[in-house]
Amino acid sequence: MWPTWINMLGWWQWAILLAVPPAIISLYFLKLRRRPVEVPSTYLWSRTIEDLHVNTIWQRLRRNLLLLLQLILLAILILALLRPAWRGQKLIGHRFVFLIDNSASMNASDVAPNRLDDAKRRAAALVDNMASGDVGMVVSFADTARVEQMLTGDRAALRRAIESIRPTNRPTSMVEALKVASAQAAGRHAAQPADEKSEQIVPAETSPATAYILSDGKFAPVSDSSLGLLKPIFLPVGGESPSNAAILVFQTRPREKLENWLQAFAQIKNFGTQTIRADVTLRRDGNLIDAEDVSIGPGETQNVVFDVGEMDEGVLELAVGARDRLAVDNRGWVAVNPPRPAEVLLVTPGNEPLELALGTRSAAKLANVAVRPPTFLKTQEYAAAAAGVHDLVIFDRCRPETMPQSNTLFIGNVPTEPRWSLGERVDVPQIIDSDPSHPMMQWLALDDVLLWEGRAVNPGPGGSVLIDSDAGPMLAIAPRETFQDAAMGFLLVDVENGESVSRTNWPIRPSFPMFVLNTLTYLGGAVQERGGQSVRPGQPFAFEAAGPVGSVTVVGPDGRTMRPTVVRPGQYQISTTEQLGAYEVRVGGKPVSRFAINLFDPNESDLAPRPAISAGVEQVAGQSGWEAARREIWRPLLLAALAVLVVEWLVYNRRVGM
């Protein structure tokens, strides 16, 4: 590659400049004509300069060294004046945001050593090519974004920040990353004072920034992110369609008719372009209990079912022994917890149909029901019970002074909350509609249900109507803090002249026990699936645990003990769920429940490179992050000239010093 030149001088200037070297040489020879002086004896002089003559070649060279250095200096200066430059590249723009994806898919090893390191290396190369005066910031993102380095011109800091990015197991989302980037770098923030003390307002910066997105593009299209002044440049990371098998689903379910008999069900997909043969192994608490060889064609999904047998608690681990490019999606965990029935308190003056429905075998399995009369609400005992002992409290034709710290269902009344309002009594309201998508209303057919009378229950803003009638909502639900309050506008039974009379035919319809079971499941919240919950990495996991606050700990897959944060008494939350695997909740050191963190994300597991991503409304195709530029070298040339000058000075001094 030959340099290109720009002539900086006119011909007469060149003539002057080119006349300098002969001038120097002639001056040098003039200077060398030594004046002869006769001395009595050169005896002492010879002895004085004796050691200078030790090496005559060096001596001769030395004699000409200054001339040589002067000529070199001049040559360098002339060269610098020609402004030599190589065809080079430079970054686009002057403000940069390096968005580096550190999600689970970036652990793929299809580029050595892995995608993240490759991205980091490329980002570092970009930083190295920043011109002086350019500023940049580093943002790492998975499902959340993290500013590793604020906007700075310090390239060493940027490199350090890039180097400090660690891989995660999280899924990917660009939304936050782009928001952070456009807010921080593209100068979209409002005007701000120059510093804390001064009142002077610095006008908002409006300089555009270039966002270098180093990612494999494994995320859902971003639609609502406003890029603002951000100019995204997508630098795709990753090789050509690497092979990868991934577990997408791993669950347990009870075998039909055998309540304690668990079956494990897994779905494994081959994202590669070649058939994968792998042995799938299932371990229970670390012991191998079953294995199966599977062969999955490209793009195909294979379902695997294992019989686990009777299992009350423990951890099931599924591993796909495929040698593919991404290891984190080859394992899945299911935490099996012992069933825990919901604690339900029914406060009623007497409600035979409801008590009957709660007393069925299925319901009994889901909940322990305690029945109390309305007078119970005035006792100290209720005050204690309201503090969160129960999962669900059903108030039949009564209303507490203070709402309990649990989910509630009000029958013929509304919760003691300002948002709720109760309508006038209406005779024979007609059920118009119900909301089958709500868990409480699933599989309920209310066509044959008649109501004798009812009052509209209005849940206010934020609530949702489950059963609507021509007289208004008959069943509604609304959140209260972390709880759900449901209110039923009609009575099931009432007491008239000392006799119990029905107010609806619902209790004798098949949908009623179903509704009770749904209520126990949803509001009772108790019946956790046998096959515990699976949470995505990085997501906070909330759980309940009885026991003193300090005694609740969570042990991670690596054996590390963590302390969950207390949401409220008995409710905890843990956010350090970065690691995949089974976590164990312990109270006073004894394991009480488990949960599993699994990737199970087809977006992350699909390693096929994406040529373009959509950021904001734009389609950002993978492209080069460079634009052609002249890489001029006159600056280093001048530095070299300075160095030569220093050497010349040293040589001259040394020569004189001899």
Partner 1 sequence: MSTTSTLLSPELLARLEKMELISRKIFRGRMKGERRSRRKGQSVEFADFRNYVPGDDLRFIDWNTYARLERLFLKLFLEEEDLHFYALIDASASMGFGDPTKLRYAQQLAAALGFIGLIRGDRVRIETLGQRGSAHSPVFRGRRNAWRMFEHAESIEPGEQTSLAAGVKNFCLRNSGKGIVVLLTDLMDKAGFEPGLRYLLAQQMDVYVVHILSTEELHPELTGDLRLVDCEDGDEAEVTVTGPLLKRYHQTLAAFLESARDFCTRRGMVYLAANNQVALETTITDYLARRGLVR
If one asks whether residue 657 binds partner 1 (CB under 8 A), the answer comes out as yes
- Contact track, partner 1, 188-217, x by CB under 8 A: ------------------------------
Query: What residues numbered 596-655 form the site for partner 1, per CB under 8 A?
Result: 655
- Give the count of residues interacting with partner 1 (CB under 8 A): 23
Q: How far apart are CA 298 and CA 276, in angstroms?
A: 8
Cα 388 to chain centroid, rounded:
33
Read off φ and ψ for residue 431, nearest 5 degrees.
Answer: -70, 125
| Least gap, CB of 648 to partner 1 (angstroms) | 16
Closest C-alpha to 244, from 598, 579, 610, 602: 602
What is 345-364 written as a DSSP string?
EEE-S--HHHHHHHTSHHHH
Q: Pick between residue 1 and residue 656 the one whose CB is nearest to partner 1.
A: 656
What is 337-348 written as a DSSP string?
-----EEEEEE-
Q: Pick between residue 48 and residue 551 the one whose CB is nearest to partner 1.
A: 48
Distance in Å from the first CA to the final CA of the chain? 46
Tokens describing residue 354: 């409801």
The window from 27-35, 490-498, 546-554, 575-583 that contacts partner 1 (CB under 8 A) reads: 27-35
The window from 28-36, 230-238, 359-367, 397-405 that contacts partner 1 (CB under 8 A) reads: 28-36
| Least gap, CB of 53 to partner 1 (angstroms) | 9
**H or E stretch covering 554:** strand 552-555
Task: Identify whether 113 is preceded by a cis peptide bond (ω within 30 of 0).
Answer: yes
The window from 26-34, 86-94, 273-281, 473-481 that contacts partner 1 (CB under 8 A) reads: 26-34
| Least gap, CB of 44 to partner 1 (angstroms) | 6
| Least gap, CB of 36 to partner 1 (angstroms) | 5
Query: What residues numbered 32-91 form the site for partner 1, per CB under 8 A?
Result: 32-49
Nearby residues of 556 by Cβ (< 8 Å), 6 or more positions away: 562, 576, 579, 581, 583
Q: Pick between residue 30 and residue 131 the one whose CB is nearest to partner 1.
A: 30
Q: Pick between residue 41 and residue 132 the one whose CB is nearest to partner 1.
A: 41
Q: Do 363 and 337 meet the contact criterion of CB atoms below 8 Å apart? A: no
Report the DSSP beta bridge partners of residue 232: 211
| Least gap, CB of 60 to partner 1 (angstroms) | 12
Q: Pick between residue 34 and residue 635 the one whose CB is nearest to partner 1.
A: 34
Binding partner 1 (rule: CB under 8 A), the pick from 4, 13, 31, 192 is: 31
Q: Pick between residue 202 and residue 658 the one whose CB is nearest to partner 1.
A: 658
| Least gap, CB of 52 to partner 1 (angstroms) | 9
Q: Pick between residue 418 and residue 657 the one whose CB is nearest to partner 1.
A: 657
What is 571-631 written as a DSSP string?
EEEE----S-EEEEEEETTEEEEEEEE----HHHH-----SEEEETTEEEEB--SEEEEEE
Residue 504 exposed, middle or buried by CB count within 10 Å (0-12, 13-18, 19+): buried
Q: Pick between residue 563 and residue 655 the one whose CB is nearest to partner 1.
A: 655
If one asks whether residue 26 binds partner 1 (CB under 8 A), the answer comes out as no
Contacts to partner 1 by CB under 8 A: 31-49, 655-658
